[in-house]
Structures are given as C-alpha cells and as structure tokens.
Amino acid sequence: MTPPLLDIQRLSVDFATRRGTVRAIDSISLSVAKGETLGIVGESGSGKSVTSYAVMNILDRAGKIAGGKISYGGMSMHKISERDMRDIRGREISMIFQNPRAALNPIRKVGQQIADVLVQHNQATRSTARDKAIEMLLAVKIKDAEKRFEAYPFELSGGMCQRVVIAMALACKPQLLIADEPTTGLDVTTQKAVMDLISELTARFNMSTILITHDLGLAAAYCDRLVVMEKGHVVEQNTSQALFNAPQKAYTKQLLNATPHRDSYVRDLLTPEQQAQALALPASTEPGAALLSVKSLKKEFGKPGSGNHHIAVRDLSFDIRKGESLGLVGESGCGKSTTSSMIMRLLDTTEGSIEFLGQDIAAIPAKQFARHALRGKLQMVFQDPTDSLNPRWSAERSIADPLLRLSPDMTDADRQARILELATLVGLPVELLNRFPHQLSGGQKARVGIARAVAMEPELLILDEPTAALDVSVQAVVLNLLEDLKHRLGMSYLFISHDLNVVRLLCDRIIVMQQGEIVEEGHAHEIMDAPKTDYTRSLLAAIPHPPAPDASASETTALVQDGAS
C-alpha cells in the first residue's frame, strides 16, 4: 500500500482566548490517499476548518499546534519554515474558501489574478501568463474566456467568482485541493455546477481533494470517504456508502437524520427524545378562506429606458389561505425577496394589488404602514438571525420592541409576562433573555427572531430562508418549532427558499418562480414527483443525491476492499 499523500496523526490545536486556552481540535488522525476525495463533515465549532488551517499553516496568531504531526508526501508540515511553506501553498496544496467574492481582489482583473498565481510559482513568465490564465478560465468552463479575463470580480455572479477562484487554486496543478464550504451561499443549481466542476477537474488532474462542509448530503454525493467531526474529535470515518447505510455512532445517526431527504417528514429530522416531546400534529388541516391574495403584482426598479431599468417582478398572482403554508422557490435574482418585501410592506409596489384580510394594503405607502392596524398581523422571520437582531439590545429588549410599538397600552407587568410566555413558546431559556446577540448561539438567535415575529400574534408569517445560516441539527429543531407554532397559533406561512427539500417539509403548496414570473404552481408532492417544467426539474436535479440507502451491502464491502488494496 502506497503511503497516503496527507497524513495527520494525533493532531491537536489550541487557541489562546480571554478565558484561557481552548482546545479546538483534540488529537485527530486522518489521511488522504492520492486521487482520493475526502469529506470532512461537522457542524459549526466542530474544528473542521481549523484542521485545514493547520495543514496549510495559516492558523491565526492565537492558535498553535499543541501536539501531533502532519506529514505531506513524507515532509513534516508542522516543522517546515514559513518560506518553504509559501512555496507549498498554491503549488502543492491549494485552498478554496467559502466566500468567493471575498477571496478575490476587488480592484484587479480576474484573469490578471490567475496570472499572478502562475508567475508567483514560476509556472509561467510574464509573456505566457496571459495565455495560460485564459486556458485555466476555459478549463473552469467560463464562456468568452478572452473577454472575461478583463472582468473585475464585481462584474461576475457568485458562481462565476467561485469558478475563477477554482481556476486560481488549480492553476499550478497542485496535488491536494482543500475546499472549505465552497458552495455555501450559492444556489442549488450553481452549487451543483461548481461541485461537478471541482470533481471533474480533480479527476482529470489526478488530484486529491478535501471537501469541508456541514452538508452531509453534499459530502456523500461527491466524496469517496467521509470523516465526521464533533467538538474537535473525529466521531466516525468510513466510505460514503457505508457511512450512509450503516452509521455506527449516535452523532452520525443524528446528523443523518437531521438532513432533509426527499421523503422525510418534518418530525423525522428530530432525535427520538425530541420527537417524544413534540406536539402531535393534526393529520391534515383544511385551509380556510383566502387570507392574502396577490393580483398581478409588478415591481420595476429605475426609470424605463434608463440604463439601470430592471423589472424584478412581472405580473405575479397567487393566494394564501388561512392556515396554509405556501412555498416560494427560485434561484437568487428570481424576485422572491422583492415579492416578500412588497407583501411585508417594506417596499412600494409598481402595479397590482395585495389584499390582506379583505383590505388592499398595496395602496398604503410602505413608509406609513408602520402605524397601520395590520402591521402586527403581517410579520417576518429573517434569513440571518445575527444580522436581524440589534447588536446593542438584549434578547428581552428585542422581543419587547413590537409590543412596545404596536400595543403601547400594555402595562410593564403584562409585557414582562408576555415576553416570558413568548420565550417559553419558542423554547428560549428564560435566563438567556438578558444576553446580547453575540452571547447567543445561532439557534438561540433564531428563536429570539421567531419570538419577536410572533409577539403580535400575526396571521401571516413570511419565512425568508429562516434556516439558511444554521447547522442541520439546529435547522431540524427550528423547522419543527415553526411547524408547532403554526398549529398552536393558527398562522399561515409564506416560506421562501431555494432548497426544495426544506420547503417541502413545511409547505402544502409550492410556487416556483423564475425571472419574476411563476413558472409552476401545485401541491408539494406534485412538484416534487411530477414536475411539469424543465426549470423545476433542473432545481430538483441540483439537490445533492447521497448514495441510495437501498444499495446492496456487497457493493459496500467491495468499495471498502478497493480502498484498502
């Protein structure tokens, strides 16, 4: 058996913080063979990114390797000088980061940035760099590579930027590629394109890859072997097939469970203990009369004929009935956020009507709606729980805000009682109420946001990708909480997301939007099982497909033997 390309033995990393030393990763061992794709999966704080930083020797000043060794192709990486390390980075090992736009220099042409990498590592001279860079742009399937060479990062879409970053990372034909959450923040379709590209290129150049992700489904679909990490420890490692079909450890099972599948119900995501506590859901609810009806809604930005004229939403009509959950699905830029802002009355409409509880609220200017009687009945849960809480306010103050503004007659004692009641309702421990947002975890912040949104007992709640920034296990709990609240408080939901698997869990009906128009509308199971349009089909196909659980056991063992020989 040939020695592995990268071999990490009993590696520990410590971070010096205000409260003493914290061990971020604790004696982990893993290895990557030549040409292999390894997935490191874990939730935030599991130490998966720190592992990759330790390999690249780019830990920040507070972090240091406390023990163990990292060897790469026989070299001891933790002993190497910074000077040699600089040579290895990019030429031998390269990395793709989470936010492609931040990884590119905003004031330099993208082609030039690829050329810089080539020249830096003596792979090209000034005169040949341009041609080689264009070659790389072609390799990452950027059309019009000659023209795109001259583009600045802001002129490219997120997916395009990530392709450029991949081109930079692969420009010097490294042996090992570390991809740290390369598709977070990208649409499902773009995610698929980027991941397909990475796996195609690494196969072509016979490179090894480490894919770091929180998405078990994504990792399983693209990796040969998976390492599951929790709180700085390796919980389990196995081939993707084996891990998916027969997880050994409870944590892996829980993680697998919490990842939404095509056929899972919202309660299935929870652990058995959590399920036992959950509310029994009524078998099926019959939606009542129309609560919200949107008719030929239209939004234009800029003046017609001017350079920045843009129609975000064109002729949109749909209804939400009482007690119903409607999913609104589409890629970024399809107009779903604009639509939600207009319904929320944060944005004025260009044309069309929005009838809510029998009143046309589109006629009321967004600026005056704050004082309107219906303000409290129409609320929203935002995408980013951190961004949506005032950093100077404690959780209690944030939840109290709508009560203070919208029911000013409430006495202090009543308000206090209501805040405690809301905290209990959303499962936020009462002792956390006087904490500031930065002292709360993502899931707790999400609960504060939800408590604030339901404080005025709204009739319609818009959920704008409420779990996009959360870990899968937290997502599972939050989705269940939302499902509970809907039944307890009799609310209707408009759930906005690009992830059909998540939307399907909560929604009865789904609308698929593309370029400001509805392309398909129907019951959740119809859309999932029998999509009528190509666009919906492409959205469905883009969802990562982990190995099927019914794959035969013999196949699994064969794979294991393959890897071992």
Partner 1 sequence: MSNLAITPSTSQRAQSREGYWHHLRYIMAENPLTGVSFGLFFGLIAVAIFGPYLVPFDPVATGVGPALQPPGVNHWFGTDHLGRDVFSRVVVATRLDLLISVSAVALSFVFGSIIGCFAGYFGGWTDRISGRLMDTIMAFPLFVLAMGIVAAAGNSIENIVYATAIINLPFYARMARAEVSIRRNAGFVQAARLSGNSELRVLFGHIFPNTLPPMMVQISLNMGWAILNAAGLSFIGLGVQPPMPEWGILVAEGANFIISGEWWLVVFPGLALMLAVFTFNLIGDGLRDLVDPQRRT
Dist. CA 40–CA 33, nearest whole Å: 14
- Residues 6 or more apart whose CB falls under 8 angstroms from that of 73 comprise 5, 6, 92, 175
Handedness of CA 472, 474, 475, 476 (dihedral sign): positive
Contact indicator for 229, 42 with CB cutoff of 8 Å:
yes
396 binds partner 1 (CB under 8 A): yes
37-41 and 517-523 strand pairing: unpaired
390 binds partner 1 (CB under 8 A): yes
20-32 and 37-41 strand pairing: unpaired
Handedness of CA 115, 118, 121, 126 (dihedral sign): negative
Minimum distance from residue 489 beta carbon to partner 1 (Å): 17
Minimum distance from residue 337 beta carbon to partner 1 (Å): 11
Among 443, 449, 546, 547, binds partner 1 (CB under 8 A): 449
**Which residue number, 119 or 420, has a Cβ lying nearer to partner 1?**
420
365 binds partner 1 (CB under 8 A): no
DSSP letters, 498-561, are S-HHHHHHH-SEEEEEETTEEEEEEEHHHHHHS--SHHHHHHHHHS--PPPTTS-HHHHHHHHH
Judged by CB under 8 A, the chain residues 517 through 556 that form the site for partner 1 are none
Minimum distance from residue 411 beta carbon to partner 1 (Å): 9
300 binds partner 1 (CB under 8 A): no
371 binds partner 1 (CB under 8 A): yes
Q: Which of 472, 13, 57 is nearest to 233 (CA)?
A: 13
Q: Which stretch binds partner 1 (CB under 8 A): 68-76, 250-258, 279-287, 431-439?
A: 431-439
- Residue 401-420 contact track with partner 1, rule CB under 8 A, x = bound: xx--xx-----xxx-xx--x
| Sheet with strand 290-301: strands edge to edge | 310-321, 290-301, 351-356, 359-360
**Which residue number, 102 or 430, has a Cβ lying nearer to partner 1?**
430
**Which residue number, 375 or 504, has a Cβ lying nearer to partner 1?**
375
Among 388, 444, 501, 536, binds partner 1 (CB under 8 A): 388
**Which residue number, 62 or 246, has a Cβ lying nearer to partner 1?**
62
Among 346, 541, 553, 558, binds partner 1 (CB under 8 A): 346
User: Is residue 342 within a helix (H) or strand (E), and if so which, with residue range?
Assistant: helix 336-343
Minimum distance from residue 414 beta carbon to partner 1 (Å): 8
- Residue 225-244 contact track with partner 1, rule CB under 8 A, x = bound: --------------------
**Ramachandran angles phi, psi of 430, nearest 5°:** -60, -30
R_g over Cα of the chain: 25
- DSSP code of 382? -
Residue where the block lists tokens 């209990």: 424
Minimum distance from residue 166 beta carbon to partner 1 (Å): 30
Q: Which stretch binds partner 1 (CB under 8 A): 205-213, 233-241, 313-321, 432-440?
A: 432-440
Minimum distance from residue 385 beta carbon to partner 1 (Å): 8
Dist. CA 511–CA 524, nearest whole Å: 9
370 binds partner 1 (CB under 8 A): yes
Among 110, 134, 354, 380, binds partner 1 (CB under 8 A): 380
Dist. CA 511–CA 14, nearest whole Å: 48
Among 116, 300, 384, 484, binds partner 1 (CB under 8 A): 384
Q: How many residues touch partner 1 (CB under 8 A)?
A: 40
440 binds partner 1 (CB under 8 A): no
436 binds partner 1 (CB under 8 A): yes
Minimum distance from residue 362 beta carbon to partner 1 (Å): 17
Among 5, 389, 426, 507, binds partner 1 (CB under 8 A): 389
Long-range contacts made by residues 427-435, C-beta under 8 angstroms, separation at least 24?
Answer: 427/481, 428/395, 432/395, 433/394, 433/395, 433/396, 433/399, 434/394, 434/395, 434/396, 435/394, 435/395
Contact indicator for 208, 232 with CB cutoff of 8 Å:
no
Among 46, 379, 444, 514, binds partner 1 (CB under 8 A): 379
**Which residue number, 273 or 412, has a Cβ lying nearer to partner 1?**
412
433 binds partner 1 (CB under 8 A): yes
387 binds partner 1 (CB under 8 A): yes
Judged by CB under 8 A, the chain residues 450 through 479 that form the site for partner 1 are 452-453
Minimum distance from residue 12 beta carbon to partner 1 (Å): 25
Among 376, 427, 515, 538, binds partner 1 (CB under 8 A): 376
434 binds partner 1 (CB under 8 A): yes
**Which residue number, 260 or 385, has a Cβ lying nearer to partner 1?**
385
Q: Which of 172, 215, 166, 219 is nearest to 37 (CA)?
A: 219
Minimum distance from residue 25 beta carbon to partner 1 (Å): 23
Q: How far is the CA of 65 from the CAs of 73, 376, 393, in angstroms?
A: 20, 52, 37
367 binds partner 1 (CB under 8 A): yes
348 binds partner 1 (CB under 8 A): no
Q: Which of 550, 508, 41 is nearest to 258 (CA)?
A: 41
**Which residue number, 109 or 435, has a Cβ lying nearer to partner 1?**
435
Q: How many CB atoms lie within 10 A of CB 322?
A: 18
Dist. CA 57–CA 51, nearest whole Å: 10
Dist. CA 487–CA 332, nearest whole Å: 30
Interface positions with partner 1 (CB under 8 A):
18, 344, 346, 367, 370-371, 375-376, 378-380, 382-384, 387-392, 396, 401-402, 405-406, 412-414, 416-417, 420, 430, 433-434, 436, 438-439, 449, 452-453
